[in-house]
Structure 1
Amino acid sequence: MSARPYVLLSVAVSIDGYLDDAGPERLLLSNPEDFDRVDAVRADCDAILVGAETLRRDDPRLLVRSDTRRAHRIAAGKPECPMKIAVTAGGELDPSLRFFHTGGVKLVYTTDRGAARSAGRLAGLAEVVSLGGGIDFGALLDDLGRRGVGRLMVEGGGRIHTAFLAGDLADELLMAVAPVLVGDSRAPRFLRPADFPGGPRRRMELADVGRVGDVALLRYLPRYAEPRTDGEPHDMETPQ
């Protein structure tokens, strides 16, 4: 069996952990420098994955924007832009989305029910792959490995990030933290409630801390984690 791809989760959040606000216009959490950083990460990957909710809300193209980076990919024998992947349980994707009309190879992972609904309408636009009765992200990664995908960038949304972290399937988490507060319970959050491996006592490794303009960049390695074993409480009072 081919090795699963290296999975990198990429996300921009507010200080209070939101991906967006609840308004009709997308809240831009990144700054121009950070958008360029994300473009560089995209250019270094073989495929980019998003969920159906992100496609419907943001209608992204998911392309490498830099001419120089696209040229470097071509010179290295790679496609101009990474493969684009959508995940949808119900198969309800509008074929007019920009996702389907820009870039090269496109895959849609779905269920048997979703495939029956979307295969016809997406014919000629994307390959539709059924994962059976439900979305099995481990099986999805196995399939991408067989297709030669070595490095996968996951760009959201919250349900997708939650599924990868809850399934212990993420190798790296790049989190850009914007200096804004959303504070609206109607807005989408980075993560949903889930049974995460190890629970709150498992600590990710903080591999790097950086700054991109007014945005803080945190790099975590989710699998390099150890549970607390010292028996000490989480919040220690300062001795008087």
Structure 2
Amino acid sequence: MTERPYILLSAATSVDGYLDDTANQRLIISNKADLDRVDEVRASVDAILVGANTIRRDNPRLLVRSTARRTDRITRGLPENPIKITLTSRGDLDPTASFFTTGPAEKIVYVTTPAVNKTREHLTDVASVVDTGNPLDLHTLLADLAARGVRRLMVEGGGSIHTQFLTAGLANEIHLVIAPFFIGDPAAPRFAGTGTFPHHPGHRMTLAEARQLDDVVFLRYLLG
């Protein structure tokens, strides 16, 4: 079996399973207590991955916010922030996005073969661009990360990325936060889409942890 990182998926959803609404402004589903928990998890991993649509829609920075946690990483001989990773089939990412321009952190863009040259033209000054075949192959991506020393990978979405990792049976655990409201818009992005999942009513995940963080609930599932 090819070596790959330990993979945890992280998401916050409404009660009805949505990651966001359809408004132009990003919806903050989580709360302060949970955002601090997420920051703690970020500080514990070697790399954080989001899809290209998440970069376009949310413009995330993907940095460790806590000064103490960044200092602790440096003390342990780690980079101040985890590696930032995205994957794209088209390569049409904005090099001025916060993903590329904020914080001291290595950035890697995994891209399909037909878009490699285009992506390198746009992003060569801000990120490493890696060809992962056509269609983009997660196993190739994960093998490359393992070769780079990545042992723990945090996947922060969006829904299509979560679905790819889950249906491929590649996730080791899920960190799922549920907020006390509904979105109810079928056009809004969901935590996971349609697909054939290894975990179904006849093969349940293991609930390893459940706790309240102010008005949200944090659930940690092990996928085995």
Q: What TM-score, normalized to structure 1?
A: 0.90
Q: Deviations over 1:63-82 (max 9, x none)?
A: 00000000000000000000
Is 2:65 the partner of 1:65?
A: yes
Q: Which amino acid counterpart does residue 66 of structure 1 have in structure 2?
A: S
User: How much has 1:2 moved relative to structure 2?
Assistant: 7.0
- What residue in structure 1 maps to residue 54 of structure 2? 54
Specify the structure having the higher radius of gyration (Cα). 1
Mapping 1:107-186, distance limit 5 Å = 107-186=108-187
1:7 aligns with: 7
Matched AA of 2:49: L
Deviation at residue 204 of structure 1 after TM alignment: 0.5
Q: CA deviation at 1:114?
A: 2.0
SS at 1:57 equivalent: helix
Whether the 8 Å contact between 1:18 and 1:190 is mirrored in structure 2 is: yes
CA distance in 1, matches of 2:170, 2:7: 7
Partner of 1:81: 81
SS at match of 2:211: strand
- Alignment match, 1:17: 17
Whole-Å separation in 1 of the counterparts to 2:28 and 2:58: 11
- After superposing the two structures, state which structure 1 stretch, 110-119 or 78-87, moved more: 110-119
Preserved contact between residue 2 and residue 146 of structure 1 (Cα < 8 Å): no
**Contact 1:91/1:113 (8 A) holds in 2:** no
Shift of 1:201: 2.1
Q: Assess if the C-alpha contact under 8 Å between 2:199 and 2:205 holds in 1.
A: no
Aligned equivalent of 1:208: 209
RMSD: 1.2
The one-letter amino acid of 1:9's match is L
Separation in 1, partners of 2:42, 2:2:
22
Which residue of the partner structure matches residue 36 of structure 1?
Answer: 36
**Separation in structure 1 between the aligned mates of residue 193 and residue 121 of structure 2, nearest angstrom:** 32
Matched residues in 2 for 1:11 and 1:25: separation?
A: 18
- For 1:127, the aligned partner's letter is S
Q: Secondary structure at the match of 2:165?
A: helix
What whole-Å deviation, never above 9, does each CA across 1:127-163 have from its counterpart, x for those lacking one? 0001111111111111110110010000000010000
Question: Where does the alignment leave 5 or more consecutive residues of structure 1 unmatched?
Answer: 224-240
CA–CA separation in structure 1 for the residues paired with 2:115 and 2:8: 26
Q: Deviations over 1:67-115 (max 9, x none)?
A: 0000000000000000000111111111110111123210000101121
CA distance in 2, matches of 1:109, 1:200: 34
Q: TM-score, normalised by structure 2?
A: 0.97
Task: Return the offset for 1:171.
Answer: 0.4
Counterpart AA for 1:218: L
Instruction: Give the partner amino acid of 1:33.
Output: A
Give the equivalent residue in structure 2 for 1:235.
Answer: none
The aligned amino acid for 2:214 is G
Task: Assess if the C-alpha contact under 8 Å between 2:9 and 2:175 holds in 1.
Answer: yes
1:91 is matched by which residue type in structure 2? G
Identity of aligned residues (%): 52
Gaps of 5+ in 2: none
Aligned length: 223
